[in-house]
Each structure stands twice: as structure tokens, then as C-alpha cells.
Structure 1
Amino acid sequence: MRTLWLSLFLSAALGAIPNQSSAGETRAAQILDRFEHANQWRDHVMIAAHRAGSMQAGKTLYAENSLAAVEGSIAIGAEIVEVDVRRAKDGEFVIMHDSWLDRTTTCKGEVVNYTLAELKKCRLVIEGTGAVTNETVSTLREMLLTTRDRILINLDNKLDVTDLPGMVAEARDLGMADQVIVKENLWNRHRIDAASAALARAGGSFQFMPILADDSVHDAAFADEVDKAFAPHAIELI
């Protein structure tokens, strides 16, 4: 179900009216307005690309979480790209969904056991076809630079909740914290408190998207508790 969340949830929850943006406003700013003011944009379906949008029209065209996939998503008019963030052995934030490299790259083993320099020798593979691309594992900074002012970027934290401030700091250093949506799994009050503390350390201006999974959250009232804690513009439901 995770591969469907963006197309199903955001398409149903977010809408838009014809664009009346001011001259000089970036495309990312226009998209952010639609994201933050969904009720004012009721005739528009907001499209988001999962794992950067490697699959289009039922076919896998790009390596997942790749810069090429981002470019393809922007080209077809997507408004959000979702990517997954991990750390290399030397602490660098990198873009990779799995904890292991085997499925999506030419390398083997766990991401955390490779330095960034070693990861840069791994080529991304297009799943299903096995085609090896010329693209290597991207850093978070490289991914942010590719999306800046062009599309919103949704960071799925595959690390500890305490790593969220570091991700936001990278975006803020590039002057694009407001173009970032970070997300985190929540399942109890302790987790809400941990996320709240991490987001407070990260500072403001970015968006937070909680993740609620039905295998962890069994009480519908918990969604109200999350809403009161964060007042998010969107929630991922699994």
C-alpha cells in the first residue's frame, strides 16, 4: 500500500483553483500555496511521485530515488517528489529506501557500512529490467539542489526521529526549508512527544507530515491526537 499513498491520499485530500500566482514566484512557491490552502484550490488534483517517481503509467522508467526520476516527475507536472533518507558510514545523508544496497544498486551490503565515496561507486539499477544506469547514489544535498524552486520534496526519514533536524538544516542552508515536507511514523504519545521535540530543534518554516499505519495504530482517536499536536496539512495513511 505504501506505493499508493501519494497518488491516492493527496489526490483525494488536496485541491486547487486556476493559478493566480504573482510574476517572479517560483513554481515551488505556487505548489506550496496549493498544499497549505487546499480548500481554496478545490478543482485541482495534487500529484506526488513516490520514491522520486520511478514508475510512470505502470512502467518503471527510472531507478527509484534517482535524480533522473525527479527530472521525469517534474517534466510530467508532478508537484511533490517523495524520497527516502539514510546515512552513509561517515554520516552523510544519502537517498536510499532500503537499508541494503542489493535491490537498487550494483553494490551489496548495508548502506551504513559504506562511506559516501564508496557509495558513489555504486550504480543505480532500474528495478524489474535490471538495467544499470550511469547514476550513482545521491546525497540529500544533491537531491535538494535538483528540486530547488521547481517542486516540493517530501523526505521520508529512514533514520531516528532525532535525525530530522539535520535534514531540515541541509535544506535551510540552501534557502529552501519552506520547500521541504518531512515525515515520521507515529504510533503512541511517546512518539508524538519525540517528534515534537525534534521538530522544535529543527526550527520553523518547513512542513511536517505524520505517518499513521494501521498495523501500529488501532485507535481512530489517535488521529485526532496527532492533529492537535501538529495541525498538519497532510497525513500519510498506510
Structure 2
Amino acid sequence: MRLIVPFIAVFLSLVPIFPSDAYISETSHTTLIRERLTDANRWRDHVMVVAHRAGWKENGKVVRAENSRDAIDHSVSLGVDMVELDVRRTQDGALVVMHDATLERTTTCKGAVVERRLAALRTCRLVVEGTGIVTDEPVPTLEEMLLHAKGRILVNIDNKLEPEDLVDIVDSARRIGMADGILIKTAIWNEERLERARAVMARIGPDIAFMPILADDAVQDSAFVAKVAGAFDAPAAEMIHWHRDAAEPLTATGGPLFSPRARAAAIRGNFHMWINTYPITDRPEGMVAGGRGDGMAWAQGQTDAVYGFWIDRGATIIQTDEPEAVIGWLEGQGLRQSYATGS
């Protein structure tokens, strides 16, 4: 007995001490998020939230640089499931994170991204749009941003290039061990586009999560939705319900992509229905959500008529400019399940 007690004391001194409450390591956290992404039917009572441009706005105002490390950090702190990052190429072929084709709006530099070499872009600093605030963050490469997000949050990559560029994007993720931390996507609106996406994904391989983008100006058949999702074993389908005219009435049904048949296809195929509620500059409110977007929800105080409407029609992923407010609303509705408890 005298030998056992000292042994136990030494053993316990070598065991890491964790907080008494439910603890989740950074690595296991993204694993849990990915489980909820890839098993939609099991987690339809947990509506996932994606921070548009990594989370740059609050209450309709720009408060941090878009596509920035600061934005990722804030989204992580809120418990956001996924951040969206926009990808472009430099003159010398480097993959950088930038929404616009030009630099003026979001950096201290001017000109086209594709006309600058990476070394030159590194001298440009990200700005908080419309505020005059210059951050200390340079224009980031894709790998830098993926590393910053790694283990903490999933990354939804909005490829501003061609579908074939997804191959290089995935190679960048694989180099840093982020193959299971990204969701890639491309728009598919007909058989030709479907075959093009198939060819790209054949080069990439089945280990990468892929999501089709489907818009109802071209796709209205739920059978085609099911065919496309099934072709890639897609965990989600991003649905666009156009509302291009401010005078047009709000959608009353959700359109063909949120019809009962489309919802049934999502359940049979075990994939999430994804809606974008963020506004597009100088375009009608909720342009990609049938007029039911973030502005209507918060400026007009009609959250049920926006998020409730889309959830009632099957949406289980919402990409928004107001992630903190949306998460708070969802929690109040019992539509967020804690990652800490695993329930």
C-alpha cells in the first residue's frame, strides 16, 4: 500500500487537469460541427449558422474587416458553426481571401487583385469598410486563413474563380491538414454544369465535403435537386430564391426549392437546406431569400417572418450578416443544441 499511494500521486501529477464543466478541445470541436453538417436528419433541431464574409457586421453596420482573422475570432467566440471566406487569385497565381475583384473597398490599396503579385498585396492592409479604420492585418492567403480557423470552426469557401480552381483550393487545405475543415461549392443549373462539377470532384476525391448552389431562376424541379445532391453525397444544398425587385411581394411559399417535395428530397437524401438571408449592397432586401432577409428581421422586427418562415420550410442552415442575433433567436426557439454537452 505504501508503494501504491506514491505511484498514484506521481501518475495524477502527469495527467492534464481540465475544467470541471464539459470541456471540448479545439480539434474535437470541428469534428462535432462536421458531424452535424454531414448528418442532417439527426440534427434538424440544430439550425447551423454561417457568418457571411467571416462575420463583419452587427445591427446592420460594418464593425470589423470582412474576411479577416478578427472576424473569424469573433465568430468562434459566438459559437458560429461556419465562416464564409471568398477566394481569388493574384497575378502570380496565389490564392488569397478577398471578396471583390478590386482592392479599393476593403483595403488600403487600389486596383485589381489579379494585377498584383502576392508580395505587393502583402503591403495592403484590411480596412473596416466605411469607417476609416485601418487594421494591422494584410491581405491574407487562403492557407493563412484556414490555419487560423483550423480546429475552431468550419470554413465555407466561396470560390470567386472557376469550378476547376477548386482543385488548387483543396490542395491548399490538404497541405495544412484542413481537408475535413472545409466545405466547397459551385453553382449547378443544368446537366452540362452537373457534369462539369462531377469532373472537378473526380479530380478532388470523395473525402472533401461539396455543396451544390441551386437557384430557382433555372432549377425548379425537386427531382433535379435530389439528383444533384445525390451525385456528390452532398451534406447540404445552398438554395437561392430570387427577389430582384423591391416592389415585388414577399415570397409566400419559399419557391420551388423550398417546396414540400424539395423538403422531402432533402430528408430522403439526408442533406441540409441552406438559405442566405444576408443583404446584397444596392439590391432589394433579401434578394436571394425571396425578400425575407436580415434587414426585415431586425430593422423591421420580423424575425419570425424571416427565420421562422425559412425554418418552417425546411431550412437548417442560415448564412447571415447577423450571426450573434440569429444564434440568440434560435436559442430562444429551442433550435440550437449545445456542442459542450453533445446533446
Same fold, TM-score > 0.5, yes or no: yes
Q: How does 1:165-204 map to 2 (within 5 A)?
A: 165-204=167-206
Displacement after TM superposition at 1:187 (Å): 1.6
The change in CA–CA distance for 1:65 and 1:23 in structure 2 (over 3 A counts) is closer
The change in CA–CA distance for 1:127 and 1:229 in structure 2 (over 3 A counts) is same
Q: What are the superposed Cα offsets for residues 12-61 of structure 1, whole Å, 9 maximum, x if unpaired?
A: xxxxxxxx998886210010011111222243221111111111343322
Q: Which residue of 2 aligns with 1:7?
A: none
1-structure distance, mates of 2:75, 2:98 = 18
1:155 corresponds to 2:157: yes
1:37 corresponds to 2:39: yes
2-structure distance, mates of 1:85, 1:110 = 14
Q: What are the superposed Cα offsets for residues 189-231 of structure 1, whole Å, 9 maximum, x if unpaired?
A: 1111111111111123211111112344455543233123223
Amino acid at match of 1:67: R
SS at match of 1:235: strand
2-structure distance, mates of 1:60, 1:97 = 15
SS at match of 1:47: strand
1:231 corresponds to 2:264: no
TM-score for the superposition, normalised by structure 1: 0.85
Displacement after TM superposition at 1:93 (Å): 0.4
Moved more, 185-194 or 89-98: 185-194
Q: What are the superposed Cα offsets for residues 93-146 of structure 1, whole Å, 9 maximum, x if unpaired?
A: 000111111211121111100001111111112123232222111100001100
The change in CA–CA distance for 1:59 and 1:218 in structure 2 (over 3 A counts) is same
Q: Which residue of 2 aligns with 1:69?
A: 71
Matched positions, count: 219
The change in CA–CA distance for 1:23 and 1:166 in structure 2 (over 3 A counts) is closer
Task: Please say if residues 126 and 133 of structure 1, whose CA atoms lie closer than 8 Å, have aligned partners that are also in contact.
Answer: yes
Q: Which residue of 1 aligns with 2:216?
A: 214
Counterpart of 1:49 (choices 28, 48, 51) is: 51
Q: How does 1:97-176 map to 2 (within 5 A)?
A: 97-176=99-178
Task: Please say if residues 165 and 202 of structure 1, whose CA atoms lie closer than 8 Å, have aligned partners that are also in contact.
Answer: yes
Moved more, 84-93 or 195-204: 195-204
2-structure distance, mates of 1:196, 1:156 = 18
Between the aligned residues of both structures, percent identity stands at 51
Q: What are the superposed Cα offsets for residues 51-96 of structure 1, whole Å, 9 maximum, x if unpaired?
A: 1111134332211111111111101110101111111111110001
Give 5+ residue unaligned stretches, structure 1: 1-19
Q: Which residue of 2 aligns with 1:78?
A: 80
SS at match of 1:98: coil
2-structure distance, mates of 1:89, 1:196 = 28
SS at match of 2:48: coil
Q: Which residue of 1 aligns with 2:337?
A: none
2-structure distance, mates of 1:100, 1:158 = 12
Q: Which residue of 1 aligns with 2:322?
A: none
Task: Please say if residues 186 and 197 of structure 2, whose CA atoms lie closer than 8 Å, have aligned partners that are also in contact.
Answer: yes
1-structure distance, mates of 2:105, 2:65 = 11
The change in CA–CA distance for 1:216 and 1:158 in structure 2 (over 3 A counts) is farther
Moved more, 47-56 or 139-148: 47-56
Which has more radius of gyration?
Answer: 2
Task: Please say if residues 27 and 152 of structure 2, whose CA atoms lie closer than 8 Å, have aligned partners that are also in contact.
Answer: no
Amino acid at match of 2:84: E
The change in CA–CA distance for 1:96 and 1:25 in structure 2 (over 3 A counts) is closer
Amino acid at match of 1:33: E
Q: Quick one: higher RCO (CA 8 Å, sep 6+), 1 or 2?
A: 2
Give 5+ residue unaligned stretches, structure 2: 1-21, 241-343
Q: What are the superposed Cα offsets for residues 135-184 of structure 1, whole Å, 9 maximum, x if unpaired?
A: 11110000110011111101111111111111111111111201110011
2-structure distance, mates of 1:45, 1:207 = 18
Q: Which residue of 2 aligns with 1:60?
A: 62
